[in-house]
Structure 1
Amino acid sequence: MIRGVTRRLMLLDTASLYFRAYFGVPESVRAPDGTPVNAVRGLLDFVARLVTDHRPDDLVACMDADWRPAWRVELIPSYKAHRVAQEHGEGPDAETVPDTLSPQVPVIEAVLDALGIARVGAAGYEADDVIGTLAGRAGGPVDIVTGDRDLFQLIDDRRGVRVLYPVKGMATLTAFDQAALHEKYGVDGPGYADLALLRGDPSDGLPGVPGIGEKTAARLLERFGDLAGIVAAADDPASPLTPTQRKRLTAAAAYLEVAPRVVRVATDVPLPAHDPALPAAPGDPAALDALNARWGLGGSLTRVLSALAR
């Protein structure tokens, strides 16, 4: 906020978005030399649409400097372990790993840099943590654009933080504020982190509490307030937990002790200096021209430049 002027900040969960772009744009979209650039061009189209539709003053492309931080793995060794196997072509889901996406990531980074769009990551942290930190520092409303439900935990009406969540590709975005979140999951922002760790998430290697699904977790949170209240109830023989629920929660005590530090987004990450202001023109026109010639960014680049100029 500068001189009483409220600035709207948009934070992109960049990897989540270019992954969706990769699967949403045909691989037949290629550079002049035949290299696939579907993720590059798809992400540029996403950015153009977001800037046009939501008119942010500031925009930051948040990056995974470390998508599997050692401090999270130390607490829960299974954290994203299956993705390591996939990257090495192991396991039953290995065939789902896109082998033409990784080479496009440096191109995406170079194009964002040439456009002058801030790109921020921090050693030892995921993009989620960068987003949590920047959202916490913001002096105005914040739109978080992500296909990752984990970031629902940052939703906060009081501070104007909402999540724009793609329903299908990026053609349709659903805006989640506290009312929408409560309607769908029965919890508020911070409560979503507790819901997620109780329910578990196989895609992130989080076991959850066996036998406690999403609906049961929501009911427990409604009754006992938060995870601490649920754990206290499990330790209290007089609490209204069923014997089965008490047994399941007690058996998962070691997991419940460490899971909050893994699931909850960090909000105190030391970030590099950056200028979040959305550029009206490319920061490095010569570099952008060279990238366009090399990768054939075509109409996608034109649309981004038009959106920024407006």
Structure 2
Amino acid sequence: MLLDTASLYFRAYFGVPESVRAPDGTPVNAVRGLLDFIARLVQDHRPSALVACMDADWRPAWRVELIPSYKAHRVARETAAGPDEEVVPDTLAPQVPVIEQVLDALGIARAEAPGYEADDVIGTLATAATDPVDIVTGDRDLFQLVDDARGVRVLYPVKGVGTLAAFDAAALRERYGVDGPGYATLAVLRGDPSDGLPGVPGVGEKTAARLLAAHGDLPGILAAVEDPRSGITPAQRRRLREAIPYLAVAPTVVRVARDVPLPELDATLPGAPRDARRTAELAERWGLGGSLERVLDALARAAH
């Protein structure tokens, strides 16, 4: 099981009241919410291995170089040296180091890579896996990794993580009319305002799916643009031609990397905390209470 950790702790932050605080009054709603997510996931799915994938760089320079608008609206402050700072709620940012400390004390593996997003870490681990993989994320971009032949599916939170929509190839085709690889092209054509991807004007999700169904892939669509017999409407033909500079670079930006250099990691699901003393200290310092107890109980049960 691969966790898109930032996606999940953002959901936890907005789903758990900020009145959930540590003894000193510091909000810990994202920390406790994420722990509750993990407890439920372990309880319901009993993964043999679990990796919390992190964003070492949420807006990699190599993606921005190709499409400067990539996540530009999320930049809080541009820095002359080092990565841009992301807009993060004031009371969430201090919780992220606590989340990392708790995961490390528990012995839940964390993985990140300089210059890459969590999506790329997930893509690399999913590609290298020899066992079936569940990816837990609220980011539809990772639908492109769905692969029935390799047992890779996406668990998409619908309500908390108690209600998850499982996306295999059949579910993707039913919902979007494409398979995993086709979803990346659909995302390129449709665009995504939340990521600063303009897409092709006038080509929404359904039109993109129809173009892919008729012409197979992006090269097939672009070939059809130059074929007067292809059935592409004059308006679509014009818009696709005008979008060729964007379409030349967008696939590289949207496509999840699958060859990220990662350090060796032990992803085995721990049956007990790796550092029990540190876990207890963090529980007391941050008032993690029942949330941490539920994780510990779920880990112990999954180990037997």
TM (normalized to structure 2)?
Answer: 0.95
Match of 1:106 among 80, 97, 109: 97
Are 1:241 and 2:232 counterparts?
A: yes
Q: Does 1:166 align with 2:166?
A: no
Q: Quick check: 1:277 aligned with 2:265?
A: no
Alignment equivalent of 2:220, drawn from 215, 221, 229: 229
Matched-pair contact (CA < 8 Å) for 2:40–2:162: no
Where do residues 44-63 of structure 1 align in structure 2 (5 Å cutoff)? Answer: 44-63=35-54
Q: CA deviation at 1:85?
A: 4.1
Pairwise CA RMSD of aligned residues? 1.3
Aligned-pair CA distance for 1:97: 4.9
TM-superposition CA deviations, 1:121-168 (whole Å, max 9, x none) = 000000000000000000010000000000000001111000000012
Q: Shift of the alpha carbon at 1:115?
A: 0.2
Query: Is contact 1:19–1:39 with CA below 8 Å preserved after alignment?
Result: yes
- Is 1:75 the counterpart of 2:83? The answer is no
Tell whether the 8 Å contact from 2:137 to 2:154 is kept in structure 1 after alignment.
Answer: yes
In the TM superposition, residue 86 of structure 1 has moved relative to its aligned partner by: 8.1
Q: Give matches, 1:74-223, under 5 Å.
A: 74-85=65-76, 97-223=88-214
Aligned partner of 2:46: which letter? Answer: R
Amino acid at match of 1:114: A
Partner of 1:22: 13
Identity across matched positions, percent: 79
SS of the residue 2:134 aligns to? strand
**How many matched pairs?**
294
Aligned counterparts of 1:168 and 1:301: Cα–Cα separation in 2? 21
Preserved contact between residue 87 and residue 97 of structure 1 (Cα < 8 Å) = no
**Cα shift at 1:239:** 2.4
Alignment partner of 1:102: what SS? coil
Q: Is the 8 A contact 1:86 1:97 kept in 2?
A: no
Q: Which runs of 5+ in 1 are unaligned?
A: 1-9, 89-95
1:309 partnered with 2:300:
yes
1:87 CA drift (Å): 9.3
SS of the counterpart of 1:144?
Answer: strand
2:41 and 2:161 in contact (8 A); partners too: no
Aligned letter for 2:163?
T
For residues 186 and 178 of structure 2, what CA distance do their matches in structure 1 show?
Answer: 8
Cα shift readout 1:185-215 (whole Å, capped 9, x = no counterpart): 0000000000011000000000000111111
**Once structures 1 and 2 are overlaid, which stretch shifts more, 233-242 or 185-194?**
233-242
Q: Secondary structure at the match of 2:178?
A: coil
Q: 1:40 aligns with which of 31, 40, 52?
A: 31
- Relative distance call for 1:87 and 1:184 in structure 2 (3 A) is farther
The normalised TM-score by structure 1 is 0.93
Q: Aligned in 2, Cα 1:86/1:178: closer, same or farther, shift over 3 Å? A: farther
| Amino acid aligned to 1:276 | A
> Could you tell me how far apart the structure 1 residues matched to 2:159 and 2:198 are?
27
Do the aligned residues in 2 keep the contact of 1:198 with 1:209 (CA within 8 Å)?
A: yes
Inter-partner Cα distance in structure 2 for 1:235 and 1:308: 57
Q: Which runs of 5+ in 2 are unaligned?
A: 80-86
Report the CA distance between 1:231 and its aligned residue: 1.2
Matches of 2:271 and 2:37, distance apart in 1: 17
- Displacement of 1:117 after TM fit? 0.3
